[in-house]
A = this chain, B = another copy of it.
Amino acid sequence: MQKGLAMDEVPGSVGTSASFSLRLGQAIFSSASLLFMSLGVEFYSYTAFCYLVTVMGLVIPWSFTLALVDGYSVLVKCPLRQPGILLIIVVGDWVLSILTLAAACSTTSVVDIMLHANGPYCPPKFCSRYKISAAMAFMSWFLSLASSFFNLWLLPSL
Which segment, of A14-22, A73-81, A105-113, faces chain B? Answer: A105-113
**When chains A and B are docked, how far (Å) is the Cα of A67 from the Cα of B56?**
38
Oligomeric state, in number of copies? 2
Q: Are B119 and A47 in contact (CB-based, < 8 A)? A: no
User: Which residue from chain B places its CB closest to the CB of A103 in the assembled complex?
Assistant: B105
**Using a CB-CB cutoff of 8 Å, which residues 28-65 of chain A contact chain B?**
45-48
Q: Are B1 and A156 in contact (CB-based, < 8 A)? A: yes
**When chains A and B are docked, how far (Å) is the Cα of A113 from the Cα of B107?**
11
**When chains A and B are docked, how far (Å) is the Cα of A98 from the Cα of B148?**
14
**When chains A and B are docked, how far (Å) is the Cα of A112 from the Cα of B109?**
11
Q: Which residue from B98, B110, B116, B156 sits with its C-beta under 8 Å from A156?
A: B156
Contacts of A116 in B (CB 8 A): 47
Give the interface residue-count category, chain A.
20 to 34
Q: Are A117 and B156 in contact (CB-based, < 8 A)? A: no
Contacts of A108 in B (CB 8 A): 106
Contacts of A107 in B (CB 8 A): 109
User: Which residue from chain B places its CB closest to the CB of A1 in the assembled complex?
Assistant: B156
Sample (28) of A-B pairs whose CB atoms are under 8 Å apart: A45-B117, A46-B113, A47-B109, A47-B112, A47-B116, A48-B109, A48-B113, A98-B101, A101-B101, A101-B102, A102-B105, A105-B105, A105-B106, A105-B109, A106-B106, A106-B108, A106-B109, A107-B109, A109-B109, A110-B110, A110-B113, A113-B113, A113-B119, A113-B120, A117-B120, A118-B120, A119-B119, A152-B152
Contacts of A110 in B (CB 8 A): 109-110, 113
